[in-house]
Amino acid sequence: MLWFRSKRIGIDLGTSNTYIYIPKKGTILRESSVVAKNKQTNEVIAIGNEAKEMMGRTPKGVATVCPLKRGVIADYETTASMMDHYLKLSRSISRDLMRKPRAVICVPSGSTSIEKRAVLDAAKHAGIHKVCTLDSIMAAALGANLPVWEASGVMMMDIGGGTTETAVFSLSGIVVTESIKVAGQEMDKAIMRHIQKAYHLVIGVSTAESIKIEIGAAFLPTQQEREVEMAVCGRDLWTGLPKTIHITAGEVEQALFDPLSLIIDSVRKTLEKTPPELSADVFERGIVVAGGGALLKNFNTMLSQAIGIPVSIAENPLDCTVLGTARALKQKQQPVISS
């Protein structure tokens, strides 16, 4: 692993967002994993946050594309173009970045060899000289500074945009893992379905995400909190005209019930498969949650009440995974990284 001594970067290539980390400089790039393209010529018009702002607002000949679906590459060429763009941005931010850097890229723990190969090929196509992969749940645990190297059970949950991963670690390895295709984007879709069913109003993904961020919660203990309202504008299904309604936090809480129930079930399945000795460690230490889903109000309280185990939010939930690649790069031995 001598290549780790040369210039290297850590990349969290997520369904919703992409993060790039450079040692001694920190996380230098945080951009949306969205690309805007011309439908006829396939020409890339915008990438990242700029493209995300165009979602739902593009003219007839332009489409916004999310090249990663549920943690894996769905559009190879677009992903390669996006990564190439982000590497150019990184070079403009960090002048000492090599033209062909080495990288550690996070992939979902349940990825097949074909899915991993797609990530490696896209990275090399974008100009990365040598690439290694790291399970994203392991990276999240490292980024949260969990003692995964110890001979005791440590449990981590990462709720991203497309997938939710839960794992128990011991002796620098994953003992048990569970991955489901339910995460932040499914929560957004649940809010969209509720508004369409209850109010006959169609809203976009960006609006649903804003609702989730503004008044969304996994659990609301008081009636006063449930009655908090937010104005939402969309298209009336009956008239086709713009319409504004007011939705309450209690409605959003109810809309999120189904996806959150599936996430809770995945935690239970992980615990059911965990060896008894490690289960005792997990019960004592609790579960640490990272990812954008960890920011949902009262999520840790709801999960703790559901499974009877303490649940805490990682110190830096959004950057946990890419920070984990940094910690992996610093290790003298790399048992968790594969080429």
**What's the pLDDT tens digit per position in 313-335?**
999 999 999 999 988 877 644 44
**Rounded alpha-carbon distances, angstroms, from residue 105 to 136, 160, 173, 229, 329:** 9, 15, 18, 41, 11
**Which pLDDT value is given to residue 126?**
81
Q: Is 288 exposed, middle or buried (0-12, 13-18, 19+ CB in 10 A)?
A: buried
**Which pLDDT value is given to residue 96?**
59
**What's the pLDDT tens digit per position in 179-197?**
999 999 999 999 999 999 9
CATH of the domain at 324: 3.30.420.40
Q: Comparing 91-100, 244-253, 323-332, which segment has the lowest mean pLDDT?
A: 91-100
Indicate if 298 and 326 belong to the same structural domain.
no
pLDDT value at 65 more than 50 = yes
Interaxial angle between packed helices 184-199 and 257-273, expressed in degrees from 0 to 180 and rounded to the nearest 10 = 150
- 3-state SS assignment for residue 169: strand
Indicate if 195 and 334 belong to the same structural domain.
no
Q: Is 41 exposed, middle or buried (0-12, 13-18, 19+ CB in 10 A)?
A: exposed
Mean pLDDT calculated for residue range 82-105 = 80
Indicate if 179 and 238 belong to the same structural domain.
yes
CA distance 12 to 16: 10
**Which pLDDT value is given to residue 268?**
97
Indicate if 150 and 290 belong to the same structural domain.
yes
Indicate if 135 and 228 belong to the same structural domain.
no
Indicate if 109 and 235 belong to the same structural domain.
no
Strand 17-22 relative to strand 35-38: parallel, antiparallel, unpaired? unpaired
Report pTM: 0.90
* Domain count along the chain: 2
Please answer whether residues 212 and 230 qualify as being in contact, where contact means their C-beta atoms are separated by less than 8 angstroms: no
Half-sphere exposure of 19 (CA within 13 A, CB side): 24
Domain that holds residue 233: 146-314
Indicate if 234 and 307 belong to the same structural domain.
yes
| Residue 217: DSSP 8-state | B
Indicate if 132 and 181 belong to the same structural domain.
no
* 119-144 core/surface letters (b: 16 or more CB in 10 A; e: else): bbebbbebbbbbbbbbbbbbbbbbbb
pLDDT value at 6 more than 80 = no
Tell me how many helices (H) and strands (E) the chain has.
Answer: 12, 19
CA distance 183 to 288: 16
The percent of residues above 90 in pLDDT, for the chain, comes to 71
Q: For the chain, how big is the Rg over CA atoms in Å?
A: 21
Indicate if 220 and 189 belong to the same structural domain.
yes
Indicate if 156 and 30 belong to the same structural domain.
no
**Which pLDDT value is given to residue 97?**
64
pLDDT value at 336 more than 50 = no
